[in-house]
Structure 1
Amino acid sequence: MSDLFAADPSETDRARPLADQLRPKTLDEVIGQTHLLGEGGTLRRMLSSGRLGSLILWGPPGTGKTTVARLLADQIDFSFVQISAIFSGVAELKKVFEKARFERLSGHRTLLFVDEIHRFNRAQQDSFLPVMEDGTVTLIGATTENPSFELNAALLSRSQVLRFESLNLEDLAKLLDRAETLLGDKLPLTDEARSTLLTLADGDGRALLGLVEEVLASASPDEVLDANSLLTVVQRRAPIYDKAQDGHYNLISALHKTIRGSDPDAALYYFARMLDAGEDPLFLARRLIRMASEDIGLADPQALNLAVAARDAYQMLGSPEGELSLAQVVVYLALAPKSNAVYTAYKAAVSLAKSTGSPMPPMVILNAPTKLMKGEGYGGGYIYDHDTPDAFSGQEYFPEKLGRQKFYQPVERGFERDLKKRVDYFERLRAAKREAED
C-alpha cells in the first residue's frame, strides 16, 4: 500500500481536488444517470435530434448535474457560462444576457448554467423568460429542491425538468475504482471498510471522493483500516436532510404512509432516519398524534391516548430515553386497525357547513331563557332522551333546510365494528319512530 502514499504528483495536480481531477471529459464517462444518458435516454435523444431546449436538472448533490451541463455545451458547441444563484444578482445577470446577445450576433450560442437556481427570487427568475424565449440563451438550471415548489410556473413551462438520481452502490464502486486508478493503488481498506466507505457517501459522488481524500490524509503508511478505524478517520458524514426542505417532507411522508400501510419495520426505519438526521422529536410526536386521529381514529380509540402519552413521556424524559416512547407508538400505530371514517366525516361536515350558510337549527332543540323566546316556540316539544325507554328520542336535529345528512360511516375493523352496530341500532330506532309517526 505504500505506493499510494509515496506518489509524487505535480504541484498543480496536488492542489486540485480529486473530484476535479476525475471530472468526466465526455458524456460516456459520466457514472450513473443511465435513464438520461444511456441508450435511449432523454438527453441522448435530445442530442441525436440536434435540438437542446432549456432544462432544469433536479437531484441530490454530487450526482453530476454541473458536469452534465458542461458536457452538453461541448457536445452542441455552445459557449458555456456558469453562475451561481447564491453569489449572483440582477446586475450580473444583465451582464451575462448582454454578452450572450453579442455572442449571438457573432453566430455563437450560449448555454447558461445556473447552479442553485431555486435561490433566485421570483422576480429574478422572471428575468430569464425573455432571453429564453428569443433564443439568446439556452438555460440549464440545477437545483436540489423540488422545482414544483421553488421555481416560477412560467419558468417551468419553458423548461423540461430532468430528475437526477443518487448514485447507487455499484455506481459509487465504479467511481472509487476510477479514483484508485488515478492514484495508482488501492485504498488501504479491508473489504468491510470499503463497503462502509461507499455507504457513508450516501449516493453522493463528490462526497465519496472527499472521503477518499480524508483517508489519504489521515491514514498512516502501511496501515489497513477496518470499518471501525475508517469511521474514526473520517468521522461521519451527516445524512442528506434539510429540515425545512424536500428531504424533510419526503421522509415524513414516507413515515406517515408506512404507518398507514401497517408496516412497523419500514415505519421504524424512517422514524430512525429522521431522528438520526437531527429532526426534532417533538415534531415527530405531533405527527404521530395526527396519524392516530387521521388514519386509526375510532378503530382503536387508545391510539390517540398512547400518542399523546408518548409525547408527554418524551417531554419528561428528554433525549435519548424519550425517543423509545415515540418508537413504541410508531409500532403500535402501524399495527393498529385502520379507519379514516372520522377524518372523512369531518371533512364532509366542514364542506357542508361552508357551503350552506347559516340555517337555523330546529326550534325544538333551542333553549328558551326568556318568556319571549318561549312564546316564539323555542324549545317547544323537546323530548328529554333519558325519559324515553331506549334513552333515544329519535328527534330530528339537522336544520329543516338541510334535512338529514350522513357523514360518519364506521368500518368493519377494530372498535369501529362495535360502533357500527350502535349506528345501525340507532338508525333502526329512528326508522321505527318515523314509521310510527306516519
Structure 2
Amino acid sequence: MSDLFDDPAGRSPEPERSGPRPLADRLRPTALGEVIGQQQVLGPEAPLGVMLSAGALSSLIFWGPPGVGKTTIARLLADATDLHFVQISAIFSGVPELRKVFEAAKIRHRNGQGTLLFVDEIHRFNKAQQDGFLPHMEDGTILLVGATTENPSFELNAALLSRAQVLVLERLTGDDLERLAQRAEHELGRSLPLDAAGRAALLEMADGDGRALLNFIEQVMAWRVEGALSTEALSSRLMRRAAQYDKSGDGHYNLISALHKSVRGSDPDATLYWFARMLEAGEDPRFLARRITRMSVEDIGLADPQAQAVCLQAWQTYERLGSPEGELALAQALVYLALAPKSNATYVAYKAARAAAKKTGSLPPPKHILNAPTKLMKEQGYGSGYAYDHDAEDGFSGQDYFPEEIGRSSYYTPVERGFERELKKRLDYFAKLRRDRNA
C-alpha cells in the first residue's frame, strides 16, 4: 500500500488531513502486528521478527507484487526502531533529490537520529544511482529499505544486494483478503451487499492485491442497492483487476517457464492452463509459437520427429488465420507436445559436441577423409586409405572420422522412448559392426 511522500530533505510529513480519506488509507495498520499476511517475514522466527527482537535491523529489499504491504511494513519498521522515515520514488527522483535526502540524513545522523530511507520502485534507478547509496549505507547514515516488483537478481547491482537482505513478500491469500474485507466492513459499519458467491467473486477479482480489494469495496459500498448482489450482478458493475504481467519482466519469464515445464512433465491440462494465462495477459501468440517450436526441438527431439513439423504447421496456421482462431492450432500443438515421448538426447549431445569443439580448437580431420583435388595434396596423403561406405557389403566401413589426436568420442545416447528406441537399435547395430571391423 502506497504512502504519501515525505519531503526529500527529511521534513516531517504533513499533518493528518480532516477531509475525506480513501479506505486504503483509513485502514493502514499502525503496528506490525496489524499487518495482514506476510508471516513468512514478520513472524517471531521469520527474518524481520528475529531482527526486531535482536534490535539489529539491516538494510532490506522487499520483492513482491503490488498491494501486499511493502510500503506499510517499511513505515512501521521505522516506527518500531525509532528511525526517521523518509520515502522517495525512483520514478520521480533523480540525483538532486538523492543529494538532498543524503544531506538531511547526515545532519540527523550527527544529531544521533537514524534514517530509514524507503525507496519505492528501486529497480528503476540506474547503476550509478544505485551505487550512490553504498557509502551512506556503509557509514550508517541511512538504513535502506527498497521495494521492487521485479526480480532483484536481474535489476539491482550486486554491490547493493551484498549489503541488503532480500525478503520476498507474497500475494495475499484468499483468507488474507477475507480478513481485510472484514476489517473494511467494521470500519464502514456495515456488511458488503453481496451474497456468498458474490463475495467470493469480489475477493477473486482482487487477484491477491489488498489495495485493489479495498478500492473495490469502496466502490461497492457506494452503490445504492437493495438486497445482496449475485456474482453476475457484481461482474456487470465491476471489472476485475488486470492480471499482473509484464512482457519483459519477471512475471513473463515465470509463466513461460511454467508452460515449458508443464509440457516437459507431460501434463496437457497444466500446459493449456499456462498457455491460456499468457494469452489472457496479452502475450504475443507469435512469441508463444516460437517457444512451442523450441520445446519440440529441445524436449521431444527425435523421440518424435513429427513433433517439430506439428509445431511449424501450427505456427503457419496461426499466421494464416490470426487471432483468436489461430490460437487453437497452437493449443493443439501444445497438447501434442505434452503427450509426446520426451528426449533431450540430441540437445545433450549437441552441447557436448560444442564443448569438445571449443576445447580442441583447430585440430584437422584425419587425412583419409580429406579431399585431394591436386597432385601435391595426394602426395601429402590426403584421401589415402579412405573406405567408400557404399562399397562395403552392408554399406558401413566402420572408419574413424574424428581428429587423430582425440580419437573416437561418444555424445549421442538415445533414450528407450518413442522413435529414439528405433534409433538406439541402429546405433547399437553400427557399434557392433565397428567393433567387428576393428577386431
What is the match of residue 228 of structure 1? 232
Counterpart mapping for 1:223-262 below 5 A: 224-262=228-266
Counterpart mapping for 1:258-297 below 5 A: 258-297=262-301
| Alignment deviations for residues 259-295 of structure 1 (CA, whole Å, 9 cap, x no partner) | 1111111111111111110001111111111111111
What is the match of residue 8 of structure 1? none
> Aligned with 2:145: secondary structure?
strand
Q: Please, which of 147, 155, 166 is the counterpart of residue 150 of structure 1?
A: 155
What is the match of residue 319 of structure 1? 323
What is the match of residue 347 of structure 1? 351
State the alpha-carbon separation in 1 of the partners of residues 435 and 278 from structure 2: 52
State the alpha-carbon separation in 1 of the partners of residues 388 and 231 from structure 2: 75
| Alignment deviations for residues 101-144 of structure 1 (CA, whole Å, 9 cap, x no partner) | 10111111111000011010000000100010000011100111
Greater mean deviation of Cα atoms: 357-366 or 106-115: 357-366
Q: Structure 2: which amino acid aligns with 1:269?
A: Y
Runs of 5+ in structure 2 lacking a partner? Answer: 1-16
What is the match of residue 331 of structure 1? 335
State the alpha-carbon separation in 2 of the partners of residues 214 and 356 from structure 1: 69
Query: Kindly tell me: are residues 215 and 14 of structure 1, through their superposed partners in 2, closer, same or farther at Cα, counting changes over 3 Å?
Result: farther
CA contact (8 A) 1:103 1:109 kept: yes
Q: CA deviation at 1:14?
A: 6.5
Counterpart mapping for 1:363-378 below 5 A: 363-378=367-382
Runs of 5+ in structure 1 lacking a partner? Answer: 1-11
Q: Structure 2: which amino acid aligns with 1:220?
A: R
State the alpha-carbon separation in 1 of the partners of residues 397 and 18 from structure 2: 89
> Aligned with 1:15: secondary structure?
coil
Q: CA deviation at 1:362?
A: 1.6
CA contact (8 A) 2:303 2:418 kept: yes
What is the match of residue 172 of structure 2? 167
Q: CA deviation at 1:360?
A: 1.0
Q: Structure 1: which amino acid aligns with 2:333?
A: V
What is the match of residue 7 of structure 1? none
Q: Structure 2: which amino acid aligns with 1:29?
A: E
State the alpha-carbon separation in 2 of the partners of residues 237 and 76 from structure 1: 35
> Aligned with 1:349: secondary structure?
helix
State the alpha-carbon separation in 1 of the partners of residues 114 and 362 from structure 2: 64
What is the match of residue 3 of structure 2? none
> Aligned with 2:67: secondary structure?
coil
What is the match of residue 91 of structure 1? 96
1:78 matched to 2:78? The reply is: no
Counterpart mapping for 1:99-248 below 5 A: 99-217=104-222, 219-222=223-226, 224-248=228-252
CA contact (8 A) 2:387 2:397 kept: yes
State the alpha-carbon separation in 2 of the partners of residues 333 and 174 from structure 1: 42
Greater mean deviation of Cα atoms: 380-389 or 288-297: 380-389
State the alpha-carbon separation in 1 of the partners of residues 378 and 321 from structure 2: 56
Counterpart mapping for 1:350-429 below 5 A: 350-429=354-433
State the alpha-carbon separation in 2 of the partners of residues 313 and 265 from structure 1: 22
State the alpha-carbon separation in 2 of the partners of residues 197 and 350 from structure 1: 54
What is the match of residue 13 of structure 2? none
CA contact (8 A) 2:206 2:240 kept: no
Q: CA deviation at 1:419?
A: 0.6
State the alpha-carbon separation in 2 of the partners of residues 287 and 14 from structure 1: 53
What is the match of residue 4 of structure 2? none
> Aligned with 1:60: secondary structure?
coil
Q: Structure 1: which amino acid aligns with 2:220?
A: V
Q: CA deviation at 1:13?
A: 6.8
**TM-score normalised by the chain length of structure 2:** 0.94
> Aligned with 2:88: secondary structure?
strand
1:62 matched to 2:67? The reply is: yes
Q: CA deviation at 1:223?
A: 5.6
CA contact (8 A) 1:214 1:233 kept: no
**TM-score normalised by the chain length of structure 1:** 0.94
Q: CA deviation at 1:193?
A: 1.4
CA RMSD of aligned residues (A): 1.3
Count of residue pairs the alignment pairs up: 423
Q: CA deviation at 1:380?
A: 2.5
CA contact (8 A) 1:410 1:416 kept: yes
What is the match of residue 5 of structure 1? none
What is the match of residue 22 of structure 2? 17
| Alignment deviations for residues 71-94 of structure 1 (CA, whole Å, 9 cap, x no partner) | 010011110000001000111111
Q: Structure 1: which amino acid aligns with 2:81?
A: I
| Alignment deviations for residues 326-367 of structure 1 (CA, whole Å, 9 cap, x no partner) | 111111111111111000000000001111111111222222
State the alpha-carbon separation in 2 of the partners of residues 411 and 163 from structure 1: 40
| Alignment deviations for residues 175-234 of structure 1 (CA, whole Å, 9 cap, x no partner) | 0111111111112112111111111111110111122223234x3332632212222211
1:27 matched to 2:32? The reply is: yes
Query: Kindly tell me: are residues 14 and 413 of structure 1, through their superposed partners in 2, closer, same or farther at Cα, counting changes over 3 Å?
Result: farther
State the alpha-carbon separation in 2 of the partners of residues 403 and 381 from structure 1: 17
Q: Structure 2: which amino acid aligns with 1:329?
A: A
State the alpha-carbon separation in 2 of the partners of residues 326 and 238 from structure 1: 24
State the alpha-carbon separation in 2 of the partners of residues 369 and 43 from structure 1: 76
What is the match of residue 6 of structure 1? none
> Identity percentage over the alignment?
65
State the alpha-carbon separation in 2 of the partners of residues 349 and 92 from structure 1: 54
State the alpha-carbon separation in 2 of the partners of residues 303 and 228 from structure 1: 42
